[in-house]
Structure formats: structure tokens, C-alpha cells
Amino acid sequence: MSAILDQGVAAFEAHRHALTGLAYRMLGSRAEAEDMVQDAYLRWHNTDRAEVEEPRRYLGTVVARLCLDRMKSAQARREIYVGQWLPEPVVDENFDDDCAGDLAHDISVALMLVLERLSPLERASFLLHDVFGLEFGEVARTLGRGEPACRQLAARARAHIEAGRPRFSPSPEEGRRLATAFQAAITSANPAALTRLLAEDAVLYTDGGGKRTAALKPIYGAEKIMRFFEGIARKNPGLASIAARPATVNGLAGFVLHEDDGSIETMAFEHHDGRIVAIYVVRNPEKLQHVRY
């Protein structure tokens, strides 16, 4: 019995990272993704595993169904969410899930925001087929829809995602250089240096969730972004003393910031042609419980 139990644990653990990646992409929450995977783990132990031909595919369908149920309540919460919604940051790690293609490893904030705009069934169809590798027949059984309908759902999702994905592959080294330069410009209150770093059409997204101060809507344009940070500096003279740890946030160069009151936030930078084109700041403490400085 012990040997059978150990085999079952090993079979599940071999796919935990892939399942967590699937759930995170569906829910945009690392904490909820881990909850869904844990629920799938408990169900796995109550399953007659002799009838399971391919554990990875079976577990993917279980996690997808659990996520779809969770998304019903999440959708209601998003409707009353205060301000800009950003996914829970994934810091200094990635979901390495054996799938082919760039999307299999892409948990960038830009992609997560596009996924958030899809319907739950579009998101599930796309992720299960294009990322997790299920055949459309399996996707149809998972979602309780016909196979042609699932193909159409995935096609619509794919079109939205391709339209929303960056057309360039940013260099990690360039990202780190720009992040470091941004930090230096902010802490030294150097507007000229900040001007050189920001693309004219840069966008700033801040997520406070109504729990901490943040802009309620995205801020568009380098000039407006500069004024926003200048305003923060005037109201917070101790800004330069905030501790900042370089980090990779959802695959982007960024920082984990630690303030004197113990609060934490994350900042990530998207860039192109040597300029910062997007800044993503998460301040909502409910989304930062798993982040360590």
C-alpha cells in the first residue's frame, strides 16, 4: 500500500509545476492557483489511477474544471474591484512546464492582462490546447462543449492574444539596465534622466485594490507618468530611503520594494528599443503575501 501511495505522489508531483502554471494563467492568482492544485491533489488520491492512461492530461482537466468553478466567483469580485487589476506577481521564478512554444513559458503581465479580457471558456480552451497540449476532443469533454465550439473558442482567444502580445523579444540584460537606471532617476529626483528612460507612449499600471494608494486607471504618456512620480516624491520625502531588491517579476526585470512600515510592493518594467514602455506596480497587500523581500 505504501509503495502504491508513493507512486501516486510521485506521479502527481511530476506535474505540479505545469498544473500550477495552468491554474495561474487561468486565475491570475498564485495563491488561488496553489489552492486549485492542492484540491486536484486530494482528488487524485481518490481516483482509481489504474484507469488513468495519461496522468498529466487527466490532472490538467481536473485543474481546469476547478479553475472554471473558481472563476465564477472571481468574476463577481472583479466587477467590484477598486482600480486597475493586475495579476498576483510571480517573483524570481517561472513555471517550467515542458510544453512547446513561447506561450508555454509566458506569464508576462501583458499576456495575463489579455487573458483576463477573455471569457472563461475562451481562456480555458486556449490554455488547455495551445499551452497544455490537450487534443480538442479532450478539451470538449472537459468544458462540456462540442469539439467545433472549443476550436472556435480557442481561435478567438488566439487572435486576441496574438494582437496583444509584444512584437519583440526583450533582452533580460537591457531590462535590468533600464530598471537600475529608473531606480537611480527616481531616488535622485532626476526628471531629465527619467525622460530619457521612458518611451513617449509609456503606460503605468498600479494596483492597490483599494487597500493602498494607487492610480485608479492606467496613466498614459511619459509626461503624465513623470508628474505622477514627482507627486509621490513631494508627498513622501523618504522615498529615496525605500529598500529595493532587484528581482524578476513575471519574467520582467523589476524590484521588490520594502518600506519602513513593513509594507511590500513589486515593480516590473517592459521595454523596447532601449526605452521603458510599461511599468507594472502591485501594492495590494492581498496579492503580496507570498512575496519576500
DSSP letter at 277?
A: E
Predicted confidence (pLDDT) at residue 102 exceeds the cutoff of 60: no
The three grid cell numbers given for residue 220, joined into one nine-digit string? 498614459
pTM of the predicted structure, to 2 decimals: 0.87
Between 107 and 150, the more confident residue is 150
Q: What is the mean pLDDT of the chain?
A: 87
Give all domains of the chain, ordered by start, each with its CATH number: 2-164 (1.20.140.160), 172-287 (3.10.450.50)
Q: How far is CA 119 from the centre of its chain?
A: 17
pLDDT digits (tens, 9 = 90+) for 5-23: 567 788 899 999 999 999 9
Q: With cut-offs at 50, 70 and 90, classify the pLDDT of residue 45.
A: confident
Predicted confidence (pLDDT) at residue 76 exceeds the cutoff of 80: no
Instruction: Give helix 147-164 / helix 136-143 axis angle, nearest 10°.
Output: 100
Q: Closest Cα partner for 164 from 125, 221, 126? A: 126
Distance CA 67, CA 210 (A): 25
